[in-house]
Structure 1
């Protein structure tokens, strides 16, 4: 005994395929909403970086500053840039230029905090 199911029918009438098309549209709309929510979540994490104050180290004329960032693969790059920028600003306020001597980094997993700590010196501008 065979039964007729218009949703799975091989007939070509547009009326018979309407429920399947509507279901596909709903699935696409749901996927689009989920994608937008994921993008918004990621965007809210991008650019979040913070740093410590610049402090003098035990070595005369050498300073240190640390920065951290979260959210995505580029978090280390944001932490690094933020630390280097703080060092540059510190020296420029003194009419000098910065020179990074060492850097220590941590954090490798995508959604963990990534950190960069730089030791630097200030030198006269040429």
Structure 2
């Protein structure tokens, strides 16, 4: 009887050890999956933040006639990163082009003035342009 009892006890201990090992493996697997998920979410957050800081937005003023007849001026500004000057430039050039195209003409940039070169400051572009007939 003691032999049967010790065999049953040994079997029960073996079952407990196996179940414990399986539980530890499951917990480790869950932790590994959760760590992977957290790493992926952090990566996604970093990418979203980087895109948001780089994207920024550009705004422009209305086109106004300058002192010189047939010459107009438009200004644009942008913030958010090293390439903000490019967005300000593009916005000002597009506004000049659109203004002339609405009149059935094409734009010709006479002069551009840029401001702001430091990262995370407002960058600006002021464009003086003329509208000429399309050929």
- TM (norm. structure 1) is 0.71
The secondary structure found in structure 2 opposite 1:91 is helix
Structure 1 stretches of 4+ with a deviation exceeding 2 A read 28-39
Distance in structure 1 (CA, Å) of the matches to 2:122 and 2:39: 29
Aligned to 1:44: 52
Aligned to 2:129: 120
Residues 67/109 of structure 1: CA separation in 2 closer, same or farther (3 Å cut): same
- Tell me the number of residue pairs that the alignment of Structure 1 and Structure 2 aligns: 112
Distance in structure 2 (CA, Å) of the matches to 1:81 and 1:43: 19
8 Å CA contact 1:42–1:72 kept in 2: the answer is: no
Distance in structure 1 (CA, Å) of the matches to 2:110 and 2:129: 5
- TM (norm. structure 2) is 0.67
- Give the Å deviation of 1:42: 2.9
- Equivalent residue in structure 1 for 2:118, among 94, 100, 109: 109
Distance in structure 2 (CA, Å) of the matches to 1:68 and 1:81: 10
Q: RMSD of the TM alignment (CA)?
A: 2.9
Correspondences of 1:35-74 after superposition (within 5 Å): 35-45=43-53, 46-74=55-83
Where do 5+ consecutive residues of structure 2 fail to align?
A: 1-30
Distance in structure 2 (CA, Å) of the matches to 1:107 and 1:56: 24
- Return the structure number with greater helix share: 2
